[in-house]
Amino acid sequence: MEETGISKPKVVVIGAGSLFFGRQSIWQMVQSQYLNQGTLALVDTDEERLSKMVTLAKMVAKENGVPLQVEGSTNRREVLQGADFVVLSFAKDSVKYRGIDCEVSLQYGIRMCSGDTIGPGGIFRAMRELPVIMECAKDIEEICPDAWVINYINPSTVHGIALSRYAPKLKSFALCDSHHMPHKKAHYAIRAGIIQHPSEFTEEIDRRFDLRIAGVNHFTWLLKAEYDGKDVMALIAEALRRSAGTENDGGDKGAKALHNDAITYELYDIFGSIPTCTAHTKEYVRYWQGLGKTEDAIPPLSIWETEDRYKRHEEMWRQVDDFISGPIPVADYMKIMGPDHATDIIESMVGNLGKRFFINTLNNGAVTNMNDDAFLELLSEVSLSDGIKPLPVGDMPRGIRGMQELVLDTHELTAEAVVERSFTKLRRAFMTDPLVNSIHDADLIIKELLEREKDIIPSYWYE
């Protein structure tokens, strides 16, 4: 094993009951030779779920014969001491409140298929999550100020901006799972006809395939795609156009999955660049809000499916229970589960592996015609010694850049409103948001969401 600056890394996961991260973090912490000598500390306010995840982590570590230490606590302060990395991945009753956000917004003509990053849903999710994130930041500053803080909670940009601006002494960045490398590059290599299957993606193909992706999280665009110097953007777009006709036949019928290839191609046809996170991007633009006077070939966005999400989560917890109680052998855990973005990055940093990852961070010149402090998702070099260094992208095309700036303004105003507890800025964020069409409607949405989410929104908003 290559010598690193951290021989026994301690990774604290705040929100271990997060089914979309907690289980994968166990996999990587056990699998990686750079991490499995260290400690995985799991934190969750739900004692029952925390107990299950701690039990599962210990079982998997024992089954695979690694000395990984597993800790658990409902009080984060008890396990932060000595942390090298702190991953924030919590979201209290997220399915419930996203459902409320989407239901109320729809009454005023705003359609959200995800409701967690833009529109009233994104703003109110930040109202719920960001105060807790900033409390975590204070504890980290006090107990383990040298730890890397990784935000894995949407709206990722809002929370990343808040940490960089209001906790500047901390080493922080934000993540999303949609641009996990090298899988994202392999995906486009298949679309371009360079390879037929992800297993064919090699370091040699990686080197010859010049891919440039940039933008605000969930609103990212493929700006350049060249293989051996030949532009393959049109080949990728054509593959999307061909698949658009059958993409929803028998596949995922969830709101975030519907018509994505068709929408991707239509946006490419207009702007000349390919949106790379269409499941969310289609919510950032106003074209599929159903407000047109004539019928579009692509129907308006379907709404976030609360009940289906509850069922999906129940299935995931059932799988956890099956690992613990025996219906699924714990020996199969490493075959069934897989790596996670955050722990992939942690492994690369600890092992000094030199891998590149898409990180939400300050632009610092990567996109040449956007401000250095623009908080963007960018392919970056990541290391313990040099931190996060975004790689050059070039210009953001006109039209796309204007939409990016509007979204960034909405996100920045949201971060300021929540941290500064400013109703004026909350209202301003709403009126800046690209999905809001009426001042009066927006005011009514704010009023109704504050009332219906009173049990989770901090009390000072009601004083």
For 268-303, the pLDDT digits (tens) are 999 999 999 999 999 999 999 999 999 999 999 999
Give the pLDDT of residue 22.
77
pLDDT in tens, 43-55: 999 999 999 999 9
Is residue 107 predicted with pLDDT exceeding 80?
yes
Mean pLDDT, range 257-262, rounded to an integer: 91
pLDDT in tens, 214-241: 999 999 999 999 999 999 999 999 999 9
Is residue 249 predicted with pLDDT exceeding 80?
no
The Cβ-side half-sphere exposure at 86, using a 13 Å CA radius, reads 28
Between residues 242 and 252, which one has the greater pLDDT?
Answer: 242
Give the pLDDT of residue 324.
94
Number of neighbouring beta carbons within 10 Å of residue 95: 16
pLDDT in tens, 176-227: 888 888 889 999 999 999 999 999 999 999 999 999 999 999 999 999 999 9
Which tokens go with 189?
């290599």
What are the Cα distances from residue 240, in Å, to 185, 220, 282, 359? 15, 17, 15, 26
Q: At what angle do helices 400-420 and 156-166 cross, to 10 degrees?
A: 60
Assign 253 a pLDDT band (cuts: 50, 70, 90).
low
Give the pLDDT of residue 2.
43
In a domain, 226, yes or no: no
In a domain, 32, yes or no: yes
pLDDT in tens, 60-75: 999 999 999 999 999 9
Give the pLDDT of residue 339.
83
In a domain, 136, yes or no: yes
Mean pLDDT, range 138-156, rounded to an integer: 97
In a domain, 459, yes or no: no
Instruction: List, in sequence order, the alpha helices (H) in 292-340.
Output: 306-325, 333-336
What are the Cα distances from residue 445, in Å, to 85, 342, 451, 458? 38, 35, 10, 18
In a domain, 134, yes or no: yes
Q: 98 a known binding residue?
A: yes
pLDDT-above-90 percentage for the chain:
86
Give the pLDDT of residue 457.
97
Is residue 452 predicted with pLDDT exceeding 60?
yes
In a domain, 326, yes or no: yes
Q: 218 a known binding residue?
A: yes
- Measured distance CA(373)–CA(369) in Å, rounded: 12
Give the pLDDT of residue 3.
45
Give the pLDDT of residue 9.
97
Domain that holds residue 319: 10-94+113-178+314-353
- Give the H or E element holding residue 457: none
Number of domains in the chain: 1
In a domain, 40, yes or no: yes
Assign 20 a pLDDT band (cuts: 50, 70, 90).
low
Residue with structure tokens 């490493």?
334
Residue 28 belongs to domain with CATH number = 3.90.1820.10
Mean pLDDT, range 389-402, rounded to an integer: 97
Instruction: List, in sequence order, the alpha helices (H) in 44-108.
Output: 47-63, 94-107
pLDDT in tens, 413-424: 999 999 999 999
Mean pLDDT, range 142-151, rounded to an integer: 98
Question: What does residue 227 show for φ and ψ, rounded to 5 degrees?
Answer: -120, 120
Is residue 409 predicted with pLDDT exceeding 80?
yes
In a domain, 407, yes or no: no
Give the pLDDT of residue 250.
53
DSSP label of 76: G
Q: 179 a known binding residue?
A: no
Q: 176 a known binding residue?
A: yes
